[in-house]
């Protein structure tokens, strides 16, 4: 079975006014994604998702004009061989770095979808796993910078849905961050885990100021206070309090995760399957994290394709942590690209699908109705 065609499909939608969420990377005004369709000479089609990298047209162009020429004609079931060729030819030398990793991620997920369909088995089974309950937290583009009372109301609405954990957006100012965390803690019981995400917007002094309040509120992790390359800042911050740090959403491939884990500053690994190298590489990252007794808590991206792929991975590793549930008030990419990607059970857990490959049917008419919109997705 040979790869016969690859097509990247950049898609977008405007966030309706009034549904915008403001967080450390700006105010969300549109949502983007890059879907990857791979076809074989036997007619089997697989779908993947590459992160948009805030420039979805460029990621799609890289897939269509470079990755496709590298791998068309290769064995579609040789996912490791395809990954290694793209790594050697595009990532390791004179390549495009993060953009190539994102593009490769979408291709890799699509090849795993094909592999599952060829063997009539779900991806988690091919990886050696089985369906299991995965605890979920309310995340996605939600719980942002707003009045503490309104934030507490939003948090309570997710608890009412069954979530046992919530992730708040911080990185505003220490005073406002603390006020929001305290308001949510007062509104929900101590049984609810509160996580916070700095979206790379904090300084070491910010961390020093907020740590006592986070410790008092029982915050479960402080995610990405700094950009991914600031390894020294992570190490310094890990000594400023007892609230553990989390990172990985913006780290690419196992090579970057190696240093992140070896430094010992981060207690939760968060690779994004649409960024870090797809299912193949994130399975390796999970194994690497397992050796350090660190759980893997993937960041989920824009559409249901990434979310379903993430659940397959979490059901196939020995160190699954949280699944990031997307609770954005308006996200048709979550709801309509391939149907609802997961169902939250009353105990706050989710599980995966049992159909071949990803176990989804992609709505190509919906995709065609949401073409690329140029411009920034955060302002």
Domain presence at residue 363: no
- How many other C-beta atoms lie within 10 A of the C-beta of residue 343? 8
Q: Which of 56, 86, 120 is the last residue of a domain?
A: 120
Tens-digit pLDDT profile for residues 202-251: 999 999 999 999 999 999 999 999 999 999 999 999 999 999 999 999 99
Q: In what helix (H) or strand (E) does residue 139 lie, and over which residues does it extend?
A: strand 134-139
Report whether 169 contacts 199 (CB < 8 A).
yes
Tens-digit pLDDT profile for residues 262-284: 999 999 999 999 999 999 999 99
**DSSP-H helix ranges across the chain:** 56-62, 68-71, 79-86, 98-118, 123-126, 148-161, 174-187, 204-217, 231-237, 253-262, 278-291, 304-314, 332-335, 364-368
**pLDDT for res 102:** 98
End-to-end CA distance of the chain: 45
Tens-digit pLDDT profile for residues 324-350: 999 998 999 999 999 999 999 999 999
Report whether 8 contacts 361 (CB < 8 A).
no
Q: What angle do CA 358, 103, 259 make, to 5 degrees?
A: 95
Ramachandran class of 41: left when φ > 0, alpha when ψ lies in -120 to 50, beta otherwise: alpha
| Domain CATH for 7 | 3.30.390.10
Q: Which of 65, 86, 120 is the last residue of a domain?
A: 120
Examine the domain organization and report whether 267 and 288 are in the same domain: yes
Instruction: State whether residue 287 is helix, strand or coil.
Output: helix
Examine the domain organization and report whether 61 and 190 are in the same domain: no
Structural domain for 104, as ranges: 3-120
SS3 content of the chain, % helix, strand, coil (to 5): 40, 20, 40
Domain presence at residue 362: no
Backbone angles phi, psi at 232, to 5 degrees: -65, -40
Q: Which of 91, 120, 149 is the last residue of a domain?
A: 120
Examine the domain organization and report whether 22 and 158 are in the same domain: no
């Amino acid at each position: 079975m040979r790869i016969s065609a690859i097509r990247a499909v950049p898609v977008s939608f405007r966030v309706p006014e009034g549904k915008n969420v403001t967080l450390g990377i700006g105010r969300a005004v549109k949502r983007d994604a890059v879907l990857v369709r791979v076809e074989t000479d036997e007619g089997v089609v697989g779908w993947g998702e590459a992160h948009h990298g805030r420039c979805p047209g460029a990621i799609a162009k890289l897939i269509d004009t470079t990755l496709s020429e590298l791998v068309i004609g290769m064995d579609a079931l040789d996912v490791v061989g395809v990954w290694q060729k793209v790594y050697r030819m595009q990532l390791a030398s004179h390549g495009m770095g993060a953009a190539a990793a994102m593009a490769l991620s979408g291709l890799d997920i699509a090849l795993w979808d094909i592999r599952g369909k060829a063997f009539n088995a779900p991806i988690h089974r091919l990886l050696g796993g089985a369906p299991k309950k995965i605890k979920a937290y309310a995340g996605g583009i939600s719980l942002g910078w707003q009045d503490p009372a309104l934030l507490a109301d939003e948090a309570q609405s997710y608890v009412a849905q069954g979530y046992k954990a919530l992730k708040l957006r911080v990185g505003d100012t220490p005073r406002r961050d603390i006020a929001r965390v305290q308001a949510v803690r007062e509104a929900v019981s101590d049984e609810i885990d509160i996580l916070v995400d700095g979206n790379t917007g904090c300084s070491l002094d910010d961390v020093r100021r907020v740590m006592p309040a986070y410790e008092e509120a029982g915050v479960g992790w402080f995610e990405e206070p700094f950009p991914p390359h600031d390894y020294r800042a992570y190490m310094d911050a890990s000594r400023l309090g007892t609230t553990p740090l989390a990172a990985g959403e913006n780290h690419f491939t196992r090579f970057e995760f190696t240093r992140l884990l070896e430094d010992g500053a981060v207690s939760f690994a968060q690779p994004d399957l649409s960024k870090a190298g797809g299912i193949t590489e994130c399975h390796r990252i999970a194994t690497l994290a397992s050796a350090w007794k660190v759980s893997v808590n993937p960041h989920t991206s824009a559409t249901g394709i990434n979310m379903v792929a993430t659940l397959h991975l979490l059901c196939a590793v020995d160190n699954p942590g949280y699944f990031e549930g997307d609770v954005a008030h308006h996200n048709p990419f979550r709801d309509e690209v391939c149907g609802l990607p997961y169902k939250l059970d009353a105990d706050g857990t989710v599980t995966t699908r049992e159909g071949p490959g990803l176990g989804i049917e992609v709505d190509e008419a919906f995709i065609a109705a949401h073409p690329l919109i140029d411009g920034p997705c955060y302002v």
